[in-house]
Amino acid sequence: MPELPEVETTRRGIEPHLVGRRVDDVVLRRRELRWPIPAEIKRALIGREILATRRRAKYLLLDNALGSAIIHLGMSGVLRVLPASTAVGRHDHIDLQLDSGRVLRFTDPRRFGCLLWQAAGETHPLLAELGPEPLSDDFDGARLFRLSRGRRGPVKNFIMDQATVVGVGNIYAAESLFRAGIDPRRAAGRVSLARYQALAAAIRDILNYAIERGGTTLRDFLNPDGLPGYFEQELLVYGREGLPCRVCATALKTLRLGQRASCYCPRCQR
C-alpha cells in the first residue's frame, strides 16, 4: 500500500497541474470503488476552480469553494495528469477533466481506493479521529511517551495506530524502530521518554528523506511522472529477512505483529 511519502510525492506531482484550474467534467467509469462515490461529487466539482491540494495522513484533498474531494490510493491506486486524448485503460476509473486540456486520471486495478466528498466547514468521519501529522510540530517524543503509559501492546503497533500519529505504515515503522534501536516487540509502555524522543526524530527524518527520494517503490506504485521511487534501495530492515544487518552483520529476523511482517535486528534493537 502506498504510504505517506508516496502519497506526498503524488500530491507534489499533481499540484502544479491542478491548482488554479477549473474542473470541466467528472467522468466516473465506476460508481463505486472501496465505497460508493457520493452522488453530489459531480455537482460539487464541475465548474469549480481547484484552490489547493492537501494531504491528511494517506488521504489527498482537492479543495474548492464548496469543500474538498477526498482521494485515497488504496492498495494499487495511481493518479496521473495526462492529455485528455490519452486512451483509457481497463482500470482507469475516474477522470477529472481540467480546463487546461488535461485530465487527472485515477487508475486502481484492485479498486481499494476511494473518491469521497467533504463539505466546507465539516470533517469527514474518516478524518475525524486521526492523530497529528508526523512532520508537524504537534508530533514529538513527549506525545508518544504520554500516550504510551500503561500500554502493553508492541511499540510497533502503537506507532502504526492512526490515533497516535498518522501515516507511519509498516515500512517506515520498521525502519524508524531500527534507527532508534528499539525492538518492535517491546511493550509501548516500557519505552522511556529518551527512546521515544529518538524514535520521533527517526520517524521524522526517515519520512522526510523518503519524500525527497520519491517514496518507496511498492508492487504497484509509480510516481505521477511514471517513475518509481528510489528509497527502496536504501531500506535497512524491511523486506530483508535473513540478510545480514548493515550495521552489525547479524542475520535479520522476521516475526508477525498485528498480522504484519516485522523485520528487525536481534542485536541492534532492544
Asked if residues 162 and 131 have their Cβ atoms less than 8 Å apart, the reply is: yes
Q: Do domains 4-128 and 141-264 have the same CATH topology?
A: no
Mode of pairing for the β-strands spanning 114-119 and 67-72 = antiparallel
The one catalytic residue in 3, 6, 8, 175 is: 3
Sequence ranges of the domains in the chain: 4-128, 141-264
Q: For residue 136, what pLDDT band results from cuts at 50, 70 and 90? A: very high
Please indicate whether residue 49 is annotated as part of the active site. Answer: no
pLDDT in tens, 140-177: 999 999 999 999 999 999 999 999 999 999 999 999 99
pLDDT in tens, 10-65: 999 899 999 999 999 999 999 899 999 999 999 999 999 999 999 999 999 999 99
Please indicate whether residue 2 is annotated as part of the active site. Answer: yes
Is 185 annotated in some ligand binding site?
A: no
Please indicate whether residue 212 is annotated as part of the active site. Answer: no
pTM: 0.88
DSSP 244-267: BPTTT-PBPEEEEETTEEEEE-TT
- Domain at 4-128, CATH class: alpha beta
The one catalytic residue in 58, 102, 156, 195 is: 58
Phi, psi for residue 22 in degrees, rounded to 5 = -95, 140
**With respect to CATH, is domain 141-264 assigned 2.40.110.10?**
no
The one catalytic residue in 111, 185, 186, 260 is: 260
